[in-house]
Amino acid sequence: MDARPFFDKKGSLRFCLLFAVLVSVFYSLTSLQVVISHVDITTPVTSAVIKTTRLLVDLLGAPVRLENADLVTPGMRLRISDDCNGMIAFIIYMSAVLAFPSRWRDKGIGILMGAVLIWTLNILRILILVYVALYFPQFFFETHIYVAQSVVIAAGVVLWFFWAQSALRAADSTRPSTAA
């Protein structure tokens, strides 16, 4: 698929509209009760985040215990809710990949790369928040709300830019040459 039209006004508008629709659809699929009652992917993802975080906290020897969805430190209780599982950042990233004009193979590779990177960064974000709660509890709120979330979202945007450039190069390399 030729991505060059993406850079004109019509292509950019198409991308923005498709991106907005995809974000809305994917977010609805993970948050509307009528959908969740039939197919709930959010709860298993959140559970996997909790178990992975708990395993890593144990390996690092932090004085933290797990109570349901809470990581309990000596001075603070950290609830890992569905909003903490990285799915929103992934939905934004995946929607941008799907909305961008590129080959389906490139989209698949981009989505897999994004899933791994965003998952890893999100787990790292939670681990850092645990250590902030343990050793710098006075900075927890600001770190959680302003720094940690922004880093994961910014990383998703940066990854998308790199992926889009790669997808454009791949499209150019498969396009027949017009040189005589």
Buried b or exposed e, range 82-120, using 16+ CB within 10 angstroms = bebbbbbbbbbbbbbbbbbbbeeebbebbbebbeebbbe
Convert the pLDDT of each residue in 45-74 to its tens digit: 888 998 898 899 889 888 888 888 888 888
Global pTM? Answer: 0.84
Q: What tokens does 170 get?
A: 């791949």
Q: pLDDT category, 112, cuts 50, 70, 90?
A: very high
Convert the pLDDT of each residue in 118-149 to its tens digit: 999 999 999 999 999 999 999 999 999 999 88
CB 72 within 8 A of CB 3: no
Q: What is the mean pLDDT of the chain?
A: 87
Report which of residues 87 and 9 the model is more confident about: 87
From the CB of residue 123, how many other CB atoms can be counted at a distance below 10 Å?
Answer: 17
Q: What helix, strand, coil percent values describe the chain, rounded to 5?
A: 75, 5, 20
